[in-house]
Each structure stands twice: as C-alpha cells, then as structure tokens.
Amino acid sequence: MCLAVPGKVVAIDDSADPLTGLVDFGGVQKQACLEYVSDVRVGEYVIVHVGFALQRLDEESALASLKLFEELGLLEEEFGDAWEQAEKEAGTA
Amino acid sequence: MKYIDEFNDPELARRLLDEIRATATRPWALMEVCGGQTHSIIRHGIDQLLPEQVELIHGPGCPVCVTPLEVIDKALEIASRPGVIFCSFGDMLRVPGTDRDLFRVKGEGGDVRVVYSPLDALELARRNPDREVVFFAIGFETTAPANAMAVHQARRLGLSNFSLLVSHVRVPPAVEAIMTAPECRVQGFLAAGHVCSVMGMAEYPELAERFRVPMVVTGFEPLDILEGIRRAVRQLERGEHRVENAYPRAVREEGNPAAVRMIEEVFEVTDRSWRGIGRIPASGWRLTDAFRAYDAEHRFDVGGIRTEEPAECRAGEVLQGLIKPTECAAFGTTCTPRTPLGATMVSSEGACAAYYLYRRMNAPAPQAGGGAQQEEVAPVA
Ligand code: SF4
C-alpha cells in the first residue's frame, strides 16, 4: 500500500465533490480523488497513492516508472485481489 | 556485474555506481527510511552492487510493520463485532496480532473487506446505513491526506456510521529517535520521496543541521536510489550536511499545500508507539477534538487492550537498523512469509520479507516441516 503509482488522467468529473477523475495505470483504470491537484487536466500524469493524486509527474518519468512496476509485478500487487494473495501466502489457497 | 542488467537503464546505473565508487574514500552508513526503497534495494541487489565502504541500513518506513500489536488487537476485536464492516488495505490481512490476524477473523465470520482507498470504505458506509463501517487508517504522511479527506467527507455527508481506527505515524520524529539512540551508526539519510511529495522539505533542514547528517530526498526506483546514494556520499566526503532533493519530478519544496491543510484540519500531532520500537514523542497523528466522534477507539471502547510482543521477534531492532533480518534466529526457520512472527515478515515493504524473498541464498536452511515454501518465489539473482 505504500506504493504511489503514476497514472494518466483520462477523464475528470467536474461535478464530483471532492473532485474525482478516471486514471489509467498502464491499462488498469481506477477512479482517483483529484482534489489535491485540482488544476490537473485530462492527459496529464499524476502520482496516485491509495486513490488520491498527490503530485503531477511528467510523461516520460511516469511511463518509465509504470514499465518498471509492471515488470516487477508491483501493479498486480497493488491492484490485484488481496484475498487471493493472502490465501496464497497463508498456504490455504 | 550481478543484477545490473535488471535496471531500466543499466548504462546509467553503471555510471552512477562508478561515481559512487570513485567518491567514497571512507566507510559511510546511510539509512533509507522508506520500506518501498528497502524493497527496491534488496530486489535489485543495490546493497551488493555498492562499494564496500557504503553500507545501507534499513529504516522503519513501513507503515504495516510499525503498527503496534496493541492496535492490531484492537482492529481484530472491532472486526469481530456483529454489525461491523471492517475495511483495510490488503497488506494488513496477515499481520499477526496476539493470537490471530484479520484473515482469520474473516474466516471466523467477521465482515472484513479489502479496499483500495479510504473513499471506498466511505462509500460502503453510505450504502450500508444500518452497519458500522470502520476503516483501518494506518500509514505515514503519504496516506494521511486520503484518510483526512475520508473523515472530512463523512462529516460533510452526515454519515454517523463511519469511523477510523487511526494509527498514523510521522517520519521526522522517527529520524530524531534513530539519531539519538546510543547505538546509532547512521551518518546520512535517504529521505522518503513520496512523504515529501505531500509534506515538502521544510521539516528536514533543522534535523540535518542538529545531527549533522546529509538528508537526500530520494525516489524508490533503482536509479533514484543510486542517485540519492551518490549525492549523500558526495556530501559526506565533503563534510557537508544539507537537505537535497534528488527526486524533483515528484517533490516540490513546499510539498502539496492543499493536502497538508486537510491533514492539519483533521489531525493533530500525538505521541505514538511503534511496533518493536516503543513510544516516540510527537511521532503520530490522531483525530482532533472536532473529529473525535469518528474515532473507532472511542466508539468501540477498545482503549483497554494492552499486549506484549513475542520475545523471539527482533523486528524492533531490524526497524531501527541495528541488525539485519538474517541475524534474527527465527529468520527463515520459525518465521517465514507463510508463518510470520512479526509484521516485517508480512508486509511487502518489510525488511524481513524482502530478505526472505530475494536473499534466500543467505537464509538458514528451513527445518523439516517448518513450512518454508521458498520455491514459489523466483529469486532475482
Ligand atoms: S525474521 Fe521474523 S521473527 Fe525475526 S525479526 Fe523478522 S519478523 Fe521478527
């Protein structure tokens, strides 16, 4: 959960309070709270932690991080099924 | 060179390593504070690529690892109550309490749910007005803006069935505790990048000055870490102790002021116990009086729970950088990710788990029937 993952803002819901948008993390799309980066635009990259965008990031660094996270299996860890993972770890799966 | 081809830019990694090697003329000990950095370091073998003079000491920056046993037991107690939906991040499921974990509570019929964000827990509260929804609010400064927003929204929406079990911790007091410990060997810090994305860098110059240690704000990708080390070593060799930002693409001097304002509205600084380490003054946050109604400890009256940690687990020393996980007698024998004794063996950011997963070649051979199923995890080397 400590991971902060870069993603691309693909849609913004201006009517939502707090401000919310759809963020794409290398194919996985999730809603994120954009209130702390409230002037962000569609197409920009942000660093998202537990569903909250915390800072903007340039595209080049964002894509490099995402590629690395994917290679390391960290995206699966962050967005995959936690129960499945816990069962596997506990040896009960 | 072992490991280095795994870097996303092996050429740049090689250059950084050459420069560190050329700069370091004496032994230096640096602490990386963030558990994500520890994981990255062990996974990529960065500690083994560094010249002998430069030693990395792993710090306490894993929120799952430092959450006190007492709070885990409170979580287990609340999660077992009828009518409660207990929400947590997935990493907390297998953190051992005194006699079980959240995973077991769920097996015994408790309604434990994994959420990705505290706002998901808030949504559950909205949809289940007849249930009490409790969110396990752990984390460092990076997670605090999210938890602060969740409780702020709960009040705004008039949701009275939502509360937080808060166990928030702050980095700067931990740095101070580490530096004032008599056994401390740390000479410089790689400060946690994403904590600084939120809080900025204002809290660090005073610490760097007082303890005369360089503090380099560092990201947690392998190249970020090498760059952080390069800058810290360069300062040490020059006799400097400044705060430097080696992660400018995600960290601004002022952090994220909107997020800090929200934290300050909802939380106030308090003393906190860290698992295995003990009480550190001013090292945590709790809800302010205005938000006390959303504090699960009050709502469920679990204030009386007191616990003792298992004596054989040396996670406290691991978290303070006093020993390496492999120096713990239980490491890889009675304590494995499948049968963890301490949280540092559970969390993906825990030092013991990182060593177990990527350094198994150095682990003592698992005892027969010890349950160590190491073959499931592919080593990096
Ligand atoms: S190896 Fe296990 S018992 Fe030893 S310090 Fe780490 S978590 Fe505790």
Question: What is the average pLDDT across B136-163?
Answer: 96
Q: Write the pLDDT tens digit of every residue in B121-142.
A: 999 999 999 999 999 999 999 9
Confidence of residue B367 (pLDDT cuts 50, 70, 90): very low
User: Is the CB of residue B317 less than 8 Å from the CB of residue B200?
Assistant: no
* The amino acid at B201: M
Most informative mutation of B344, B359, B362 for ligand 1 (most atoms within 8 A of CB): B344
Residue A40 sits in the same domain as residue A7 = yes
CA dist B341 and B331 (Å) reads 9
Confidence of residue B360 (pLDDT cuts 50, 70, 90): low
Q: What is the pLDDT of residue A92?
A: 62
Q: What is the pLDDT of residue B369?
A: 40
Residue A5 sits in the same domain as residue A50 = yes
Residue A6 sits in the same domain as residue A39 = yes
CB contacts, 8 Å: B36 with chain A: 2-3
Question: What is the average pLDDT across B182-192?
Answer: 93
Domain count, chain A: 2
**Distance (Å) from CA B280 to ligand 1 centroid:** 21
Question: What is the average pLDDT across B52-73?
Answer: 91
CA dist B274 and B272 (Å) reads 6
Which CATH code fits B64-170+255-300?
A: 3.40.50.11740
Residues 210-249 of B with CB under 8 A from A: 221-222, 249
Residue recorded with tokens 């990527």: B358
What totals of helices (H) and strands (E) does chain B contain, helices first? 16, 11
Q: Both tokens of residue A45?
A: 């990259």
| Residues of chain A falling short of pLDDT 50 | 93
Residue A53 sits in the same domain as residue A68 = no
Is B275 touching ligand 1 by the criterion CB < 6 Å?
no
pLDDT, greater one: B361 or B96: B96
Q: What is the pLDDT of residue B381?
A: 31
Q: Which of B214-218, B338-342, B375-379 has the highest mean pLDDT?
A: B214-218
pLDDT mean across residues, chain B: 89
Could you report the predicted ipTM of this complex, rounded to two decimals? 0.87
Q: What is the pLDDT of residue B373?
A: 38
Is B345 touching ligand 1 by the criterion CB < 6 Å?
yes
Distances (CA, A) of B258 to A50, B48, B292: 17, 40, 22
Q: Write the pLDDT tens digit of every residue in B40-49.
A: 899 889 999 9
Question: What is the average pLDDT across B371-376?
Answer: 37
CA dist A43 and A54 (Å) reads 16
Distances (CA, A) of B184 to B51, B66, B176, B180: 22, 19, 11, 7
Residue A50 sits in the same domain as residue A9 = yes
Q: What is the pLDDT of residue B368?
A: 41
Residue A64 sits in the same domain as residue A48 = no
Instruction: For chain B, give every domain's residue range.
Output: 10-63+171-245, 64-170+255-300, 314-359
- For residue B314, give the 3-state DSSP assignment: coil
Which CATH code fits B10-63+171-245?
A: 3.40.50.11750
Q: Write the pLDDT tens digit of every residue in B268-327.
A: 999 999 987 889 999 999 999 999 999 999 999 887 777 777 788 998 888 888 899 999
Q: Write the pLDDT tens digit of every residue in B190-220.
A: 999 999 999 999 999 999 999 999 999 999 8
